[in-house]
């Protein structure tokens, strides 16, 4: 009888150990936060078009059990699809960049409403007139930043989240936009925990990252206790850009992350659920 008990215990421990090896499935207790450029829906993507990958994309993302998700390149009908595919308790903040309502790409922030309540939220344009739909500097397109102040329901702490997608052509616009976001964050009183995440369309050596680092923002990848996945976050659908890192999560007033993950197929080969990979970061809370 005693031998059987030990065998059962050994089997239980083996199963628990194997479960921890499943990529991205089990994480330490804390806040899992994700940033993901999901690629806008366009028919020219052929077999990689949104209708063919949306379920896989949400399934892969939610395998990490994120409680805060910043998405980029989200058209209105994609927003509705995400709403249907995510668990019902997820809510979002965000508007379309063309009209401040439903036209154009969103940079929405989704959050688990069983854990958080949105106390304040909004969107500003990355321009010299941030309170109205606009573009500035050398930007090719209007760009936005969505923000939300989330209050944790159990302990009352506030966490501010900024989600953006910087311009793909204008280097000056990327630098000025980052400085504007940093200024908005710096105006928040009482030094709460703050996250800035999104698609920066720039590598760590370029100006946007220098702007943030000079102001004391910490790169989640550089400071994480553990890292999983490739360096690059923009493999494209063919997997040919494995080292291009343009998606980031910066933070202030939080402990260093216990894990930083760049997600994708286990063998890092196509097909990918998007032309970008999800960046998932776990913070102690």
In the prediction, which pLDDT does 240 show? Answer: 84
| Contact of 94 with 123, CB cutoff 8 Å | yes
Mean pLDDT of 85-111: 98
| Measured distance CA(70)–CA(108) in Å, rounded | 6
In CATH, what number does 31-283 get? 3.60.10.10
Model confidence at 20: pLDDT above 90: no
Model confidence at 77: pLDDT above 90: yes
pLDDT digit string (tens) for 195-252? 999 999 999 999 999 999 999 999 999 999 999 999 999 999 999 887 899 999 999 9
Torsion of CA 179, 185, 190, 195, to 10 degrees: -120
Of all residues in the chain, the percent with pLDDT exceeding 70 is 90
| Contact of 125 with 131, CB cutoff 8 Å | yes
Mean pLDDT of 123-138: 98
Q: What is the residue-averaged pLDDT of the chain?
A: 91
Model confidence at 261: pLDDT above 70: yes
| CB atoms near residue 227 (< 10 Å) | 15
In the prediction, which pLDDT does 244 show? Answer: 93
| Measured distance CA(280)–CA(228) in Å, rounded | 10
First-to-last C-alpha distance (Å) of the chain: 43
Mean pLDDT of 254-272: 89
Considering the entire predicted model, what is its pTM? 0.90
By three-state DSSP, how is residue 4 classified?
Answer: helix
Model confidence at 104: pLDDT above 50: yes
- What are the domain boundaries of the chain? 31-283
Q: Torsions phi, psi of 53, nearest 5?
A: -130, -5
Model confidence at 114: pLDDT above 80: yes
pLDDT digit string (tens) for 150-189? 999 999 999 999 999 999 999 999 999 999 999 999 999 9
């Amino acid at each position: 009888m005693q031998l059987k008990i030990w065998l059962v215990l050994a089997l239980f421990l083996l199963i628990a150990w194997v479960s921890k090896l499943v990529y991205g499935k089990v994480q330490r207790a804390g806040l899992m936060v994700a940033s993901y450029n999901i690629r806008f829906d366009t028919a020219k993507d052929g077999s990689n078009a949104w209708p063919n990958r949306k379920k896989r994309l949400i399934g892969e993302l939610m395998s990490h059990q994120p409680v805060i998700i910043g998405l980029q390149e989200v058209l209105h009908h994609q927003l509705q699809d995400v709403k249907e595919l995510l668990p019902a308790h997820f809510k979002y903040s965000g508007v379309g960049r063309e009209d401040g309502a439903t036209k154009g790409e969103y940079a929405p922030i989704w959050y688990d409403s069983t854990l958080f309540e949105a106390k304040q939220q909004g969107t500003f344009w990355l321009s010299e007139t941030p309170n109205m739909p606009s573009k500035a500097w050398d930007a090719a397109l209007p760009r936005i930043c969505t923000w939300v102040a989330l209050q944790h329901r159990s302990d009352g702490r506030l966490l501010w989240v900024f989600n953006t997608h910087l311009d793909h052509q204008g280097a000056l616009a990327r630098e000025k936009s980052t400085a504007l976001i940093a200024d908005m964050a710096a105006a928040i009183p009482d030094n709460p925990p703050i996250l800035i995440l999104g698609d920066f369309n720039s590598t760590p050596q370029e100006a946007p990252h220098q702007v943030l680092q000079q102001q004391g923002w910490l790169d989640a990848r550089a400071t994480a206790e553990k890292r999983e996945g490739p360096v690059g976050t923009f493999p494209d659908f063919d997997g040919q850009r494995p080292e291009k890192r343009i998606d980031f999560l910066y933070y202030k007033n939080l402990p260093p992350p216990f894990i930083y993950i760049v997600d994708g197929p286990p063998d890092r080969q196509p097909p990918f659920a998007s032309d970008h990979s999800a960046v998932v970061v776990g913070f102690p809370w």
